[in-house]
Amino acid sequence: MTTLFDSYRLGRLALPNRTVMAPMTRVRAAAGGLATPAMATYYAQRATAGLIVTEGVQPNAIGQSNPGTPGLYTAAHVASWRPVTTAVHANGGRIFAQIMHGGRVSHPDTTGMQPVGPSAVAAVGDVFAPTGRIPAPVPRALDTAEIPGQAESYADAARRAVDAGFDGVELHGANGYLISQFLSSNANLRTDRYGGSVRNRIRFAVEAASATVASIGGARTGIRLSPGGGFWGVAETDTAELYAALLPELAALDLAYIHLEATIDDEVLLDLRRAWPGTLVMNPVHPSGPAPAGQSDADRWLGLGADLISFGRAFLANPDLVERLRNALPIAPADENTYFQGGDTGYLTYPAYRYPA
């Protein structure tokens, strides 16, 4: 029987276990979206994960969603990330950068620009801005001629990620951000080749993935998806058909993996497992669920055919999560008040498990 602690070959990488640290926004970047020494410490503390996927990293200025998030679109960004990847590798870890274009989930107070999206339809809810949470603005609908450039921005960021020492990248195609907006049936009201039919609505995701693979290779490219997820008001009225069309297109690119969130019933997820010929990373608990994923969730999905299991909140307060799971040690709770407050508290201050004397 496959266990969470078995090794796994992911492209060129030999993972010592099947745990993945899921991407989580921490808003600790310096001015201009630069990575910091504290970020190097934070990720290096968690290097026993089989694979780390970073917080979302914007591929261009207009793609920034939240204040305090890091970028990968200038030489300065690349230089700032090198100490992070070096620290993780020095601790024996492996790390992918998650490339995240916020699309309509942004605000001019954050970027100085009107957000863009597939259509002029505002996200549902309040977005983060420098002064706090405020209603999401109506984005500017991208012109058809602009869209390939936004798809290419993922590839440009991927090239810079490799230059910065990352082992690969994960495209953020989930949770209501730009790729997810194009997949949507209510955020995407376009009538050109990027909207309307399922075939058209998957086009942007495929173009972004294709450009990235052409840039750094399929073995260094993954994508995260949240089938049927309703984040930021995104809806998919034809989820099964949508992903049944998308996965073969992605499979043809020989991606390193797809990373699925459990945002829909098991029947659909298992159909996607059967349809996907490569590595499946499973995030077994809906992000708004009552508790972080644990050992039993991992074992269940490994038994259902997942290859790797990602943990989000459990990694925040437990930098040694792999050891805690392996030895059935208590999982410490994270302080939600420190998620986005900045500073080292609730970031670098969670200790490894202290065994009784």
- 227 and 264 Cβ atoms separated by less than 8 Å: yes
Q: Which of 43, 73, 177, 194 is catalytic?
A: 177
Token code pair at residue 23: 């991407």
| C-alpha–C-alpha distance, residues 182 and 117, integer Å | 8
CA dihedral sign of residues 117, 122, 125, 129: positive
Chain mean position to CA 81: 17
List, in order, residues 6 or more apart from 20 with CB less than 8 Å away.
Answer: 49, 50, 51, 52, 53, 259, 281, 308, 309, 310, 311
List, in order, residues 6 or more apart from 74 with CB less than 8 Å away.
Answer: none
| C-alpha–C-alpha distance, residues 216 and 169, integer Å | 9
Which residue, among 225, 242, 334, 347, has the nearest Cα to 283 in the 3D structure?
225
310, β-bridge pairs: 20
Each of the 357 residues of the chain gets a pLDDT tens digit; together they read: 899 999 999 999 999 999 999 999 999 999 999 999 999 999 999 999 999 999 999 999 999 999 999 999 999 999 999 999 999 999 999 999 999 999 999 999 999 999 999 999 999 999 999 999 999 999 999 999 999 999 999 999 999 999 999 999 999 999 999 999 999 999 999 999 999 999 999 999 999 999 999 999 999 999 999 999 999 999 998 999 999 999 999 999 999 999 999 999 999 999 999 999 999 999 996 444 555 668 888 999 999 999 999 999 999 999 999 999 999 999 999 999 999 999 999 999 999 999 988
**pLDDT recorded at residue 130:** 96
Question: Which domains are assigned to the chain?
Answer: 8-338 (3.20.20.70)
**pLDDT recorded at residue 110:** 98
Number of neighbouring beta carbons within 10 Å of residue 214:
14
8 given a catalytic annotation? no
Taking each helix axis from N to C terminus, what angle separates 75-90 and 147-163, rounded to the nearest 10 degrees?
50
Phi-psi region of 237 (alpha: psi -120 to 50; beta: other; left: phi over 0): alpha
Q: Which long-range contacts (CB under 8 A, 24 or more apart) does 200-207 make?
A: 201/242, 202/242, 202/245, 202/246, 202/249, 204/118, 204/147, 204/150, 204/151, 204/178, 204/179, 205/173, 205/179, 205/246, 205/250, 206/246, 206/249, 206/250, 207/147, 207/148, 207/151
pTM: 0.96
| C-alpha–C-alpha distance, residues 147 and 145, integer Å | 6
Report the Cα–Cα distance between both ends of the chain, in Å, rounded. 35
**pLDDT recorded at residue 236:** 94
